[in-house]
Structure 1
Amino acid sequence: MLTCEVCGEELLLEEDMKTHLLLVHLESDLHCPLCFLPADSYDQVHAHMSEAHPEGQDNLPKHPSSTSASTSRVPVGQSEDAPAKKAKCIRASTLVNLKSQEQEIPPEPEHTGPVSGTLSAEEPETSQESDNSQPRELCSSGGRPGSFQAMERSGEPEQWLKSPQRLLSCPMCALVCSSPSVLQEHVELHLEEQNPEKGNSSTDLKLAVQLQQEEEDRRRREEAWQEKEHFKKLQKHYGLDGSGGYRRQMEKTMEREVARGLLAPADFHCKKADLMESLASGIDDGRSRTCGAVEALTEFYQTKVRDCVHVWLCADTDHFGASTGDKGWGCGYRNFQMLLSSLHRTEPYASSLQGACFPSIPQVQRMIEEAWKAGLDPQGASHFNQRLQGTRAWIGATDIYVLLTWLGVRARIVDFHQPTGPGDTHPRLFDWVRQYFLQSSQSSRLPPKVIRTSLPPLYLQHQGHSRTVVGVEQKKNGSLCLLLLDPGSTLSLSSDAVSAAIRHIRKFPSSLKHKQYQLLTVQGVLSAEDKQAAVFNSRTFCAERIP
């Protein structure tokens, strides 16, 4: 004999015991026979049926451990009474029919008509006493019997929450969630929709914004510090750091010479007196001036140079070299003195420049400041803070343009802003200079080897330095060579030193390889109206660009 471990019923065969367990004790698939609410035990089915379906107590499956006759133990050899057998048959039939209905009957299609969670009054109840009877369907028009929709529409959602799944409802809408984590995520979505700024102000976002702001502040402070240091270096490099100008540098140089024993104290006081007199008069002392540079070049090319076809030279020009007072920063001023020395020998410039005869460097600075006050080059004036006197400020082609315009001389700036030949050379610059000197040549006859013109020299500027172009040489192979006077070097015109000096004057294309060059040329005298227009146009310079 085999005894059921659940209800104690004894059976003869093992196949009968399996059938008994399947039909009577479907513990793994217990649910309400009316609404199919799942349950874990018979106690939960009893509790649910007594609260939700009191009218269906007749179909309630009996608990295997109850004292009813359907589950009582029967001694061996005795048979169960009729009521117990009947109850057991009803229970088995109900469970089998419910199981088969859940597996075989497909869900009814949805529709949008009225929904009712109770049986219609006109629908007759079927008998549950018969083995072939079907249970009542507690369902709506949409959804499977026993679904949550049917429970909610019947007005009893709390019974669903009492199920073992422990479903949780959203406090902000009618949605029911199956777990606390799902409910938490759902509620957070509600909160983000009501307050969209809350997500943007989360802790991670605030931290990211704070770190980005700190990085931006640090970068700005670093850039400001670097810009300040760079500006200090530029001021020191260009003589705008307040360390003194021409006079102060001259005095310091003489004091060092006295300290080293190179200059006697008496000579120091004599030179200082001469310096003060020159500064007071505004006229250069002439110590660094060398006259007759063009004459010496003419003689050299006529007698000693054999490999050139032609050489063009400008009008007479004096060489001005750097002195102890402007060494390292005065090239622009010295080149202006060279140009001015040539203009004083050429008409019509000589009559217009009677009041500007060989000015000293401090006097040139004073003249530029007067030009600024007259309205010329407001941007340049702002760059130098309206002050040049007493500084070692560098000047360039635009400052020479301003100075010449203020003196009534028409000037023009040509900008060779990029190389035009192989190896960063500037062949276009050489061709332009040759064409400049050719404008005064006579085309009716064959030009001589050395051509002296009445044209003023050219002011040549590049980054960090400037020189004066006094001529151009053309060789037999067609190559060109510029003749430059450099204020940074001394010039000796003695018969023995000319050959050595000419090596520093001749510059071939391979020697001029800076990225940018500017040429300033003088083109006549300005009338009063032209000068006023030039003052107005100097607010924005428009140099001619080649190429």
Structure 2
Amino acid sequence: MVLCDVCGQVLPAEAAARRRLPLCRRQPRCPLCLAAAAPGCDELRRHLEKAHPESGPPGSSRPGAPLECPFCGEAAGRELEEHVRERHGHLLGAPGTDTGNGEQLYECPMCSLTCTDIQILEEHVNLHLEEHSFSEGGHIRDLELAQQLQTEEDKWRRSEEEKREREEFKKLQRQYGLDNSGGYKQQFLKNMEREVDRGRMQPFEYHKRKADMMESLAFGLDDGKTRTSGVIEALCKYYQNENKDVRHVWLSAGVDHFHSSLGDRGWGCGYRNFQMLLSSLLQNSLYRDCLTDTTLIPSIPKIQSMIEDAWREGFDPHGASHFNNRLHGSKAWIGACEIYSLLTSLRMKCQIIDFHKPTGPMGTHPRLFEWVLHYYSTDNGGGAKVVCTSKPPIYLQHQGCSSQEMQKLLKQNSDGTNLKLLRKFMGSLKEKQYQIVAVDGVLSLEEKAARCRASQVLTSEKIP
């Protein structure tokens, strides 16, 4: 509820009070008959003398009731004129000004416009009020529109970010073989079909290789097509007879080299490295009892199933969840953690050594070379120049060689050119991180169970 601050009338809203104010200021009422009198104190006095002569001059008292102020309603008595001039003189002077020829000029309280008609002034003031109301409403609408546009922009930005994240995730899935695009078998067949289409493979060879592949997968064994044997023997012979610039050489136990094929090109290096490590363990009597169920080199799909078996035993549940507990039939990359779980489930005593940052200039890893040297040089060999140790090869993933290149290594030459395929110098290993899996002994059943429990949070030895 809003009251007019001049006449006291109840108004429905503040805007109505603003519209009424100029009229209240300009139309005071007679305190005797409540008739609207013309603005100005002189006009009010003339009205009283003409309409109410019996009441006497403004300074005399009226029978029955004291005179009331036409603006505020306060009883003023004989001092009405003085009361009006002192308390409300600003209202009497505001409405208009005498032009000297009998006309009154009324000034707009909201701008500098003057007019001679009070009704025209009222309409003019109403236009001011309506314009102000429209302006306020327009500002609100502009603010609402700006907020709506900002909300839509934020929504679009979130949508784009989610879309980009999904695309990046799918890209990573494709890169690491987790996109359900098939595994070894599907890639092998697809690549052979491509070779036939390009004229690089005859149809009869396609069918023969397909039959061989299906047979090896059925038995869970590697087909041996990319296997190269006799690598350690060739290195031993070369260093003993040909090389003059090396003081000491330590070689691992015998190992066969395995290279990727049409079925695992681009993602199978982790599985091939395990095949090489396993080929050495199978030749060592210390580990033979742990490998009674694995007397031959398994195929890549079989290795995937073996890792899944280790997960089901309880090894590395966090790592298993990364692959949704499933490797078989995928092209998923594997690394040190998966190999540790598999070897430990086979009762192999092994550890992960994490060279998690470079330790030398230009991003090199001299601490890695020192660790490998110490690992093998514990077999001193009685001071011999070339020592063939009993220790199996370490599991370390980096750029490898093809089977064709490995075959060249077996062909002896005097300048050692082919050896460059295997020799790695400090500057050739400059990735940010390397992980090694080293096998050194056999676990009892109790030790295996303890390591399984410990692998709930799989840890590694970090260097440095």
- Contact kept, 8 Å, 2:364 with 2:426, in 1: the verdict is yes
Give how far 1:287 is off. Answer: 1.6
- Contact kept, 8 Å, 1:238 with 1:329, in 2: the verdict is yes
Give how far 1:263 is off. Answer: 4.0
Give how far 1:218 is off. Answer: 0.9
CA offsets per residue over residues 246-301 of structure 1, 9 Å max, x none? 22222233334444554444443333222222111112121211112111111111
SS at match of 2:430: coil
The 2-side partners of 1:533 and 1:49 are apart by 114
For residue 379 of structure 2, the aligned residue among 432, 440, 452 is 440
The 1-side partners of 2:47 and 2:414 are apart by 129
For residue 403 of structure 1, the aligned residue among 342, 346, 350 is 342
Structure 2 counterparts to residues 292-371 of structure 1, below 5 A: 292-356=230-294, 357-371=296-310
The 1-side partners of 2:210 and 2:158 are apart by 49
Structure 2 counterparts to residues 57-206 of structure 1, below 5 A: 151=87, 157=88, 160-164=90-94, 179=109, 202-206=140-144
Give how far 1:498 is off. Answer: 9.0
Give how far 1:49 is off. Answer: 7.1
The 2-side partners of 1:323 and 1:501 are apart by 22
Q: What corresponds to 2:118 in structure 1?
A: none
Aligned pair in 2 of structure 1 residues 204, 417: CA closer, same or farther (>3 Å)? farther
Task: Give yes or no for the alignment of 1:55 onto 2:59.
Answer: yes
- Contact kept, 8 Å, 2:347 with 2:448, in 1: the verdict is yes
The 1-side partners of 2:75 and 2:253 are apart by 119
For residue 436 of structure 2, the aligned residue among 516, 519, 527 is 519
SS at match of 1:381: helix
Q: Which letter does structure 2 place at the counterpart of 1:55?
A: G
Give how far 1:215 is off. Answer: 2.0
SS at match of 2:418: helix
Task: Give yes or no for the alignment of 1:379 onto 2:383.
Answer: no
Task: Give yes or no for the alignment of 1:499 onto 2:437.
Answer: no
Equivalenced residues, count: 369
Task: Give yes or no for the alignment of 1:46 onto 2:42.
Answer: yes
The 2-side partners of 1:293 and 1:497 are apart by 17
The 2-side partners of 1:313 and 1:247 are apart by 35
Aligned pair in 2 of structure 1 residues 405, 160: CA closer, same or farther (>3 Å)? same
Q: Which letter does structure 1 place at the counterpart of 2:92?
A: K
Give how far 1:236 is off. Answer: 2.5
Aligned pair in 2 of structure 1 residues 296, 163: CA closer, same or farther (>3 Å)? same
Structure 2 counterparts to residues 386-535 of structure 1, below 5 A: 386-441=325-380, 447-461=383-397, 466=398, 486=401, 490-492=405-407, 493-496=410-413, 499-535=416-452
Aligned pair in 2 of structure 1 residues 165, 324: CA closer, same or farther (>3 Å)? same
Give how far 1:44 is off. Answer: 4.7
The 2-side partners of 1:267 and 1:45 are apart by 122
TM-score, normalisation: structure 1: 0.60
For residue 225 of structure 2, the aligned residue among 287, 301, 310 is 287
Aligned pair in 2 of structure 1 residues 246, 490: CA closer, same or farther (>3 Å)? farther
Q: What corresponds to 2:115 in structure 1?
A: none
The 1-side partners of 2:184 and 2:279 are apart by 21
- Contact kept, 8 Å, 2:391 with 2:440, in 1: the verdict is no
- Contact kept, 8 Å, 1:300 with 1:498, in 2: the verdict is no
For residue 541 of structure 1, the aligned residue among 427, 448, 458 is 458
Moved more, 519-528 or 504-513: 519-528
Higher relative contact order at CA 8 Å, sep ≥6: structure 1 or structure 2? Answer: 2
Aligned pair in 2 of structure 1 residues 525, 202: CA closer, same or farther (>3 Å)? farther
- Contact kept, 8 Å, 1:290 with 1:491, in 2: the verdict is yes
SS at match of 1:345: coil
Q: Which letter does structure 1 place at the counterpart of 2:173?
A: Q
Aligned pair in 2 of structure 1 residues 50, 455: CA closer, same or farther (>3 Å)? farther
The 2-side partners of 1:360 and 1:537 are apart by 29
Structure 2 counterparts to residues 2-21 of structure 1, below 5 A: none
Q: Which letter does structure 2 place at the counterpart of 1:296?
A: A
Aligned pair in 2 of structure 1 residues 386, 368: CA closer, same or farther (>3 Å)? same
The 1-side partners of 2:415 and 2:303 are apart by 31
Q: What corresponds to 2:206 in structure 1?
A: 268
> Based on CA coordinates, which of the two structures has the bigger radius of gyration?
1
SS at match of 1:162: helix
Q: Which letter does structure 2 place at the counterpart of 1:363?
A: K
TM-score, normalisation: structure 2: 0.69
Aligned pair in 2 of structure 1 residues 500, 354: CA closer, same or farther (>3 Å)? farther
The 2-side partners of 1:180 and 1:533 are apart by 90
Stretches of structure 2 that go unaligned for 5 or more consecutive residues are 1-38, 49-56, 61-73, 97-107, 112-124, 130-135
The 2-side partners of 1:306 and 1:203 are apart by 89
CA offsets per residue over residues 358-411 of structure 1, 9 Å max, x none? 111111111112122222222333322332222222211111112112212132
Task: Give yes or no for the alignment of 1:255 onto 2:190.
Answer: no
- Contact kept, 8 Å, 1:321 with 1:490, in 2: the verdict is no
Q: Which letter does structure 2 place at the counterpart of 1:303?
A: N
SS at match of 2:338: helix
Q: Which letter does structure 1 place at the counterpart of 2:171?
A: K
Q: Which letter does structure 1 place at the counterpart of 2:406?
A: L
The 1-side partners of 2:450 and 2:239 are apart by 43
